[in-house]
Structure 1
Amino acid sequence: MSNREHYLILPFPAQGHMIPLLDLACMLEARGVSITILVTPKNLFLLSDLPSSIQVLVLPFPHHPSVPVGVENMKDAPPGIIKSFMQALGGLYDPIVQWFRSHPLPPCVVVSDMFLGWTHHLACHLGIPRVVFSPSGAFALSTMYALWKDMPKMERGSQNDFLLFERIPNSPKYPWSQISPLFRGFVEGDPASELVKDGFRANMASWGLVVNSFMDLERVYVDYLKKELGHNRVWAVGPLLPVYDDKSDPTHRGGPSAVSASKVLSWLDTCQDQKVVYVSFGSQAVLTNPQMEALALGLEQSGAKFVWAVNEPTQGDEEGQGEYGKIPPEFEGRVGGRGLVIKGWAPQVSILNHRAVSAFLTHCGWNSTLEGLAAGVQMLAWPMGADQFVNATLLVDELKVGITVCEGSQTVPDPTKIARAVADSVKEDREERVRALQLRTAALEAVKEGGSSFKDFNEFMREVQEKDL
């Protein structure tokens, strides 16, 4: 096997970033590519279901004064340290160079997460191409690239003004509060901020870009990225879905479930078709207690059946506002057999694809967005941060597969509005449901042989093999 069939995969250690890139690695391995995945010791558990033929390079997490010892995944990180976390990971540069130079079959390409922009300089140093992997969609990535390329500023006191992205298709606009927190937190001259800016600009200079999306979903934004980057090496290969062998358990995608998949699916088996709402806010978001109370009241008042995945309670933020994420007392007893509460990680893909599930109340993280669309469920959108406001725009305003029920990480929803939206989402003949099912068909067609994502994946592999031949 030549080095042209050996890929070095570098995920960013956060579940929402790692899971789709690991799915991509499995797809490559299934096509005969030799794969090496780099992780730090405390992220090894996320690789437990990967094929045994995939090689794992384990390097110590680099020390950084602002990252607590033992924290190696963003799920465990305290609030406000993502820039320091990204900066710390840059300390892997020299160890990777040493590994590369000593390897008998060094990789022909680096495929790395968009939060690891420094790997562009690494790849240039090693003389191999770097391909950016975007766990966000093409629309959201377009807004990120525009921000870091143009560096727009908001005047003091103009926090409610809208930032207009004129060059991006459909000219989206967002209030400053909904712009990427990484960008809003930029401080000129600050080493961590400058590293983030350099990283995104390095992404734009990298040889290629793989996006977890598909053309029928985001064609106009994929085409926009090709134009902005000045080349056609932009491949939409999604939706990336798990590829497992007979010994693997797809319900453990992202980690062990807090409740066995069989228990959840058995409970759903007792429900009528399209009469259940699934509620989850991803792997990191923990609601404030007032939000928990309002959401619980809305679910209770809706009269609908539901499955609610609740992240483990945490102590409050740096201002000491007490505990977050507490389920209201006696709530589970009051909803009886009508609601199932899962405390911790849930087998989300299996739940969404069950015949009983009609709608998904979601924070609109991109993995959840794609998993919901691939399952054909309508969306009840509650974007909270990062790329989620852009994803909600796509779902609600452009694709029309859902409605917005709340916005913001600190906003307390109106229980009556939640109750009405949940109750309506399990009614028959919902237009959003019809459009969601159409997109499900498009998503499944995209990844089939001959589909757009299937073709882009093949083209991606071909161009890597042929580069500089």
Structure 2
Amino acid sequence: MQANADPTVVLYAALGVGHLIPMVELAKLFLHRGVPVVIAVPTAPASAPALFAATASDSSRIAAANPSIAFHHLPPPDYPSPDPTPLLEMLDVLRLTGPSLLAFLRSLPSVSALVLDLFCIDSLDVASEAGVPAYIYYTSSAGDLAVFLHLPHHFATTEGNLKDMGKALLRFPGVQPIPASDMPQAVLDRATRMCTARIGHYRRIPEARGVLVNTYEWLDARTVSALREGVCVPDRPTPPVYCIGPLIVKGAAAEGERHACLSWLDAQPEQSVVFICFGSLGTVSAAQLKAIAHGLENSGHRFLWVVRTPPDDPAKFFPPPDLDALLPEGFLERTRGRGMVLKMWAPQVEVLRHAATGAFMTHCGWNSVLEAVSAGVPMLCWPQYAEQRLNKVFVVDEMKAGVVMEGYDEELVTAEEVEKKVRLALESEEGEKLRERLALAKEKAAEAMADSGSSQKAFAEFLKDLKLSK
């Protein structure tokens, strides 16, 4: 890099491909505006769980697919006593990588900003030591952000544990009431190290110069207004919030590499297929797989279903499923023609954008939510972990973009519930109203990302702040 090079924006991703991909999409925004950018990628120690250790190989693959983006791999830190909890281990690794990140920032001729994944928030100290303004890239919903910004105040002014409150409603500024049982597992018990760590992170968000949020204003309008009014953080100023989404992977496959399921969809009527997929880490039990199968079969509707091997350890990757052993006897034969079952993976963006897709049974990961609303597809919400239960509340109650799969928080979602919600989405008046709502959401998403749209204007405002901060 030349000494007279323009100032560089450094993006710092957390461990795991799910954290790296959103940073890649953000990097593309900078490059489109002619702003030099590099993604700093942490390296997990050898002891790390597979889902974090995979970052290095994944980043190499992603870098090869995005040659215009610069990647810098930070060396693994010395970590002699790994924490048995994968998320806490990741937080430890990211904190211990701080000195390497600082050295990298100081090696660059000029840095205009450090943009942090929320899990990397301890690196606000690195930015301060380097004299670089720090921003947070928040890759989930504005509703989640509003809740987490207020949570330290909630904990400071109340007693007891969320885990003991059942479905009692929690009230946070700018969002729908949240059942306590729908709060992330990490904050349910304030006596745990995990809860202490996460509340500490949320308390530090206002230290950032600004927060980039992967949403668009129309989708989260009420919440964004509350954030900008400063009511989510009662005792401190709230930094500027820039809604710059929806940033999602384009997903267009190269010519000649079109997935077989897309050809199958080509032969189905418009809006006739329910797509079932629970994300890159989502799995359900063997009993639950059978219940889903019976519900799909009894519904009589077309389906495209991604099946994974049931879990025995959430920190492991799983082999491809044995469909004959996992699904009801004769299921594949009886549903041949109107159903397609895929092992492990599907080209989700292309499936959701296909005219034949009429509903999406989803775990409510934020990327999946954005992909659905951008494609105009109603959601059947089946949250599983992390902030997905919060997203479910916002999708169903705030955005009116889906319905709940009842029983998601119990041992089993029944076959009857699967059949009922598939029928609701594909053949009922309520389903038609959902499709109308999602058609509008799709239109507003496209408007937000157009040249004069709200998200493009917000990113321009952010870049203007960068110039003022140099």
Q: Identify whether the pair has TM-score above 0.5, normalized to the shorter chain.
A: yes
Distance change in 2, residues 1:149/1:128 (3 Å): farther
Matches within 5 A, 1:82-121: 82-103=87-108, 105-121=109-125
Deviation at 1:301, TM superposition (A): 1.1
Deviation at 1:299, TM superposition (A): 1.1
Which residues of structure 1 form unaligned runs of 5+? 69-77, 244-248, 253-259
For the residues of structure 2 that align with 1:455 and 1:418, how far apart are their CA atoms?
Answer: 42
In structure 2, what is the equivalent of residue 256 of structure 1? none
Q: Supply the AA of the counterpart residue of 1:164.
A: L
For the residues of structure 1 that align with 2:328 and 2:10, how far apart are their CA atoms?
Answer: 49
Matches within 5 A, 1:298-309: 298-309=295-306
Deviation at 1:419, TM superposition (A): 0.8
Deviation at 1:238, TM superposition (A): 0.6
Can you list the C-alpha shifts for 1:1-53, whole angstroms capped at 9, x where unaligned?
A: 86664111112233443322211111111221111112232332452455323
Can you list the C-alpha shifts for 1:74-100, whole angstroms capped at 9, x where unaligned?
A: xxxx8x421222122211101111222
Q: Supply the AA of the counterpart residue of 2:340.
A: L
Judge conservation of contact 1:311–1:344 (CA < 8 Å) in 2. yes
In structure 1, what is the equivalent of residue 50 of structure 2? none
Match for 2:147 among 133, 137, 143?
143
In structure 1, what is the equivalent of residue 182 of structure 2? 178
For the residues of structure 1 that align with 2:190 and 2:80, how far apart are their CA atoms?
Answer: 19
Deviation at 1:361, TM superposition (A): 0.5
| 1:413 to 2:413 alignment | yes
For the residues of structure 2 that align with 1:304 and 1:424, how far apart are their CA atoms?
Answer: 11
Can you list the C-alpha shifts for 1:278-319, whole angstroms capped at 9, x where unaligned?
A: 11111112111121111111111111111112234443569x
In structure 2, what is the equivalent of residue 454 of structure 1? 456
Judge conservation of contact 1:100–1:107 (CA < 8 Å) in 2. yes
Judge conservation of contact 2:273–2:301 (CA < 8 Å) in 1. yes
The share of aligned pairs that are identical, in percent, is 29
Deviation at 1:186, TM superposition (A): 4.2
Can you list the C-alpha shifts for 1:425-466, whole angstroms capped at 9, x where unaligned?
A: 223761111111011101111100111111001111121122
Q: TM-score, normalised by structure 1?
A: 0.85
| 1:81 to 2:97 alignment | no
Distance change in 2, residues 1:251/1:194 (3 Å): farther
For the residues of structure 2 that align with 1:377 and 1:447, how far apart are their CA atoms?
Answer: 18
Judge conservation of contact 2:115–2:135 (CA < 8 Å) in 1. yes
For the residues of structure 2 that align with 1:90 and 1:22, how far apart are their CA atoms?
Answer: 22
For the residues of structure 2 that align with 1:200 and 1:131, how far apart are their CA atoms?
Answer: 14
Q: Supply the AA of the counterpart residue of 2:71.
A: V
Deviation at 1:194, TM superposition (A): 4.2
Deviation at 1:416, TM superposition (A): 1.2
Match for 1:293 among 282, 290, 295?
290
Distance change in 2, residues 1:363/1:32 (3 Å): same
Task: Report the more deviating stretch, 152-161 or 410-419.
Answer: 152-161
Judge conservation of contact 1:315–1:324 (CA < 8 Å) in 2. no
For the residues of structure 1 that align with 2:303 and 2:121, how far apart are their CA atoms?
Answer: 40
Distance change in 2, residues 1:123/1:296 (3 Å): same
**RMSD over aligned Cα atoms:** 2.8
| 1:205 to 2:207 alignment | yes
Q: Supply the AA of the counterpart residue of 1:298.
A: G
Match for 1:23 among 22, 25, 33?
25
Q: Supply the AA of the counterpart residue of 1:57.
A: H
Deviation at 1:232, TM superposition (A): 5.7
Q: Supply the AA of the counterpart residue of 1:444.
A: A
For the residues of structure 1 that align with 2:371 and 2:364, how far apart are their CA atoms?
Answer: 10
For the residues of structure 2 that align with 1:53 and 1:161, how far apart are their CA atoms?
Answer: 48
Judge conservation of contact 2:213–2:245 (CA < 8 Å) in 1. yes
Judge conservation of contact 2:401–2:438 (CA < 8 Å) in 1. yes
In structure 1, what is the equivalent of residue 241 of structure 2? 234
In structure 2, what is the equivalent of residue 351 of structure 1? 351
Q: Supply the AA of the counterpart residue of 2:327.
A: P
Match for 1:44 among 59, 63, 67?
59
Judge conservation of contact 1:276–1:305 (CA < 8 Å) in 2. yes
Can you list the C-alpha shifts for 1:124-157, whole angstroms capped at 9, x where unaligned?
A: 1111111101111000111122223432443598
Judge conservation of contact 2:306–2:341 (CA < 8 Å) in 1. yes
Judge conservation of contact 1:3–1:107 (CA < 8 Å) in 2. no
Which residues of structure 2 form unaligned runs of 5+? 44-55
Distance change in 2, residues 1:158/1:97 (3 Å): closer
In structure 1, what is the equivalent of residue 164 of structure 2? 158
Judge conservation of contact 1:277–1:422 (CA < 8 Å) in 2. yes
Judge conservation of contact 2:374–2:441 (CA < 8 Å) in 1. yes
In structure 1, what is the equivalent of residue 327 of structure 2? 328
Q: Supply the AA of the counterpart residue of 1:20.
A: P
